[in-house]
Chains A and B, each alone.
Chain A
Amino acid sequence: MHNIEFALEGALQVLLVGLVLGAGMPAVFALGIRAMAYGAGGDAEVQQAPPHPVGRLLAGLCFAVVVAGVALGITVVVAGGFGKEVVFDPVLPTLVDEG
């Protein structure tokens, strides 16, 4: 049964990408929220801590990472429609013609 091998191979790849992006992105977003609360202090924190301005900077960084991730997702969708694909060469995403 070749199909089972192909399916398990595909499933493993999807699981890995899914964990990195599908669980990683929400975690980064959560870090952003955590940092925002750290920055805001007071009612935003369970401990009613004083505000720490550096929290806002960290939050901005986290949200920028998430926005970049979403932009990558949209690029994958749109590129697929125009016969292009996104490859990671070796880390930075690049658009190439679909092979």
Chain B
Amino acid sequence: MDAATLILVLVIVTALAFDFTNGFHDTGNAMATSIATGALRPKVAVALSAVLNLVGAFLSVEVALTVTNAVVNLQNSDGAPRAELLAGGGENLLLIVLAGLVGGIVWNLFTWLYGLPSSSSHALLGGLVGSTLAGLGVSGVNWTGDGTKLDGVVGKILLPALISPAIAIAVAAVGTWLVFRITSGVADRYRQRGFRWGQIGSASLVSLAHGTNDAQKTMGVMTLALIAAGQWTDLEAIPLWVKVSAAAAIALGTYLGGWRIIRTLGKGLIEISPAQGMAAESSSAAVILSSSHLGFALSTTHVATGSILGSGVGRPGAQVRWSVAGRMVAAWAITLPSAGLVGALMYVVGNALGGALGGIVVFLVLAGLAGWMYHRSRQAPINAHNVNEEWDGGARPQRSRKNVH
């Protein structure tokens, strides 16, 4: 096996690992509210979400080969890797992609450890921006696009990140206010039972939309790597095994459930009722679907978080923990530079060592960091049993009583 082929294998494995983290990082976007209100038991919720993500991933047959073009100049507009990057079996391009993926995974794991919902897409694109900056310099990055459409780091990441939570807060607040207004004469128990069904339906729609949006990105990156290494030539299609493995990885990740993030979203921001949950998920589904339909791609995470906040704002008398929201916004603000910094460092290390050794060392650094963060998470585990414990101000609740006995 030559160096390029070895790095290709590492890229594929790392891309699937990223997809897996993408799955568990975002389970909460759809299911946190249903879990918090007891509309679904935690394990049932993540299983439902996983199945819908799997279905969604297969529904996305549209070729997503040009996913990196939003922020970096690695590919031509038809999706083919730029010819000058293909010297030496595409080794340099593969290393850029590998380092970028590592940046995305490390940031996803770090934010998961602290129970912070941050955008997986921004982590991936941030990692790629960093590794491209290190590999190709400032001109390798697509900062603002060419002015003909919403594009570049500014148009695809910064502006949507500023705008999307505001839209979601507004929509969910209006929805919640209307719902409470309309049902004010309905007995509380009767109301709760009805809204649990609405909540499950709307959360399912969010899961489906997530599968179609996010699995595609990994498929695009994997196919780009295969083309760069000369293992695939068709620019109009994605290999079946890429589609199957990426769909399976995101579904498995979703099923694992990012309980730390689910807890923050479901219990940390507001004390959520089924009616608020339904309003929040309906807002998320409508905003995510209409935005991707209009070509104004928003991060599922930013929308879901905004919707949950909005459902607190719209309910008269509800209390919103703005300090928790503030920590999330801080995490969003540093997602791009943080993932980018890791991506850039990884590229520098991999490039300095060169060839197969560089790729292997980058991969081992990722494995080491992932193992360390997993170990840290075990010191204060959050799982299906204690995800709904009373919020005590931090992302790390005490060990559940159920676990102690």
Contact = CB atoms under 8 A, between A and B. Distances in A.
Contacts of A95: none
B279 A23 contact: yes
Contact of B290 (A2, A14, A43): A14
Contact of A10 (B152, B189, B296): B296
Interface of A: 1-4, 6-8, 10-11, 13-15, 17-19, 21-27, 29-34, 36-37, 40, 43-47, 66, 70, 73-74, 76-78, 80-83, 85-86
Given A3-B145, A13-B294, A23-B283, 18 more contacts: A3-B155, A11-B167, A14-B290, A15-B170, A18-B290, A19-B174, A22-B172, A23-B171, A23-B286, A26-B176, A26-B179, A26-B202, A33-B186, A33-B194, A37-B186, A46-B184, A77-B209, A80-B212
Given A30-B183, A44-B186, A14 B167 contact: yes
A18 B283 contact: yes
A96 to B, nearest CB: 13
Contacts of A43: 187, 189-190
Nearest to A17: B290
B183 A23 contact: no
Contacts of B150: 3, 6-7, 10
Interface in B190-207: 190-191, 194-195, 198, 201-202, 205
Given A22-B282, A22-B286, A73-B285, A27 B179 contact: yes
A39 B292 CA distance: 39
A76 B205 CA distance: 11
A28 B380 CA distance: 42
Contacts of A14: 167, 287, 290-291, 294, 296, 298
B182 A46 contact: no
B194 A11 contact: no
A18 B168 CA distance: 8
B191 A33 contact: yes
Interface size class of B (residues with CB under 8 A): 35 or more
B6 to A, nearest CB: 34
Nearest to B295: A10
Contacts, number: 181
Nearest to B307: A22
A29 to B, nearest CB: 5
A8 B183 CA distance: 34
A28 to B, nearest CB: 9
A88 to B, nearest CB: 11
A76 B289 contact: yes
Nearest to A22: B286
Given A11-B296, A33-B191, A74-B205, A4 B159 contact: yes
A52 B293 CA distance: 42
Contacts of B212: 77, 80-81
Interface stretch (B39-47, B53-61, B95-103, B119-127): B53-61
Contacts of B293: 76, 80, 85-86
A40 B193 CA distance: 14
B83 interface: no
Identify the 4 closest CB pairs spanning chains A and B, nearest first: A22-B286, A10-B296, A23-B175, A17-B290
Contact of B185 (A6, A26, A37): A37
B355 interface: no
A36 B194 contact: yes
A47 B147 CA distance: 60
B149 interface: yes
Nearest to B145: A3
Interface in B245-294: 275, 278-279, 282-287, 289-294
Interface string B129-159: 0000000000000001101111110110001
Contacts of A1: 144, 154
Contacts of A32: 194
Contacts of B56: 77
A23 B186 contact: no
Contact of A26 (B152, B184, B282, B289): B282
Given A4-B159, A11-B296, A23-B174, A31 B186 contact: no
Contacts of B284: 22
21 contacts: A3-B152, A3-B154, A7-B150, A14-B294, A15-B170, A18-B283, A19-B170, A19-B171, A23-B175, A26-B179, A26-B202, A26-B278, A27-B175, A33-B182, A34-B183, A36-B190, A43-B190, A44-B190, A45-B186, A77-B212, A85-B293
A99 to B, nearest CB: 12
A26 B190 contact: no
